[in-house]
Structure 1
Amino acid sequence: MDTSPRTYRFLPAAVYTPGYRVVGKIMVSTNGIMGIMNDITKSHLEIHAARLARIHMPTKLVDHFEIIRLVKSQVVVVCTARREDLGPTGIVRGGYSNITEMPVRLATNVFEIEGKLQVAGRFDFVAMISDRTRNFIPMFDSTLTAILLPNLRVESPGILFNREKIDMLAFLNQRAKEDK
């Protein structure tokens, strides 16, 4: 029987699915929100003191619940108020010390996200997309915009995006130069 002390705390977060925005508190351990989202033993996420809004009207409250339970595979993005809420640096960075920040734009079927992706060594898109140990990947200093609803614009110092929901990824420094 495991008798080691556990430290749990609540962290504020905004969770986006293809149809809803859920704002509330996620109960996390010392591994932060990233530890909860990438825990392969649980396929659900509980959000406490949750406020529910539809994506097309994100400021209009649909309802308020003590707990909303979400299926993790349907979560597209988790936005945090602070970078530190994602988790300890060793977990967020994957344990590597030499990190390069790369400005990227990625898109899902509902959202576009611009921000800084931290990469250890050389970027490998195939490895990122097929990595079964981390379904939710951190991105920093990000802006989330709904594709069909440009008024929905969220800026967050730290987000987690679901790698299984990515449609495209492009590096901002690889934009095509205009021909004169």
Structure 2
Amino acid sequence: MTDFEDVFKDLRDHIEWLVAGSHPAYFGPENALLKFGKCMTSVRDRPEYVPLGAKRQCYANCVKTVLLSPPGREVLFYAEGFATQKDGQSIPMQHAWLVDSIGNVIDPTWEAPHDHLYFGIVFRTAFVVEMLSVSNMEPGLLSAPTLMRRHFGSPALFEATLNPLHNAGLGSSNRSDRLKVRAESSSL
């Protein structure tokens, strides 16, 4: 096992602990992460056109960047889940970040994103916009369990919210296979 695999195993164990004791029929944010979540280890520097956003406003920072990006810029996608320090010495935090078309994490909130590992789900942009409209422009999908239960509270409904570019085949693959860390290299 690599160091990253150990950290991701601890992260998965943390998420499973959050699910423990819930009703078997309940499908909440943590269940969604266990079923559809993906390890993201390749982090790139924040491009000049992605501003460093306000601290503790990761959901809003990411939504603003995705929705207000000028035409002609690279398309970035909204992701949510948990992030933790690479050394595994911090408590996993609910977090939002951006992902480029090849799966690199771009974090508009944290100043040292290369020091973190990310485990989460990349959403369809149209779905993010739709949920903003029903939540009175309050960002955050997995961090809003009531919103999730009302609009995408089953595995089938949830799977339809996923960005297919980044989540191909996740619903049908084995969870332990998805949690294995693949050696990814960033070309940037």
Higher gyration radius (CA) = 1
Name the structure, 1 or 2, with higher relative contact order (CA <8 Å, separation 6+). 2
Fold shared by both chains (TM-score > 0.5)? no
Q: What's the TM-score bracket when you normalise by the shorter of the two chains?
A: under 0.3
**Greater helix fraction, Structure 1 or Structure 2:** 2
TM-score w.r.t. the length of structure 2 is 0.26
TM-score w.r.t. the length of structure 1 is 0.27
**Greater strand fraction, Structure 1 or Structure 2:** 1
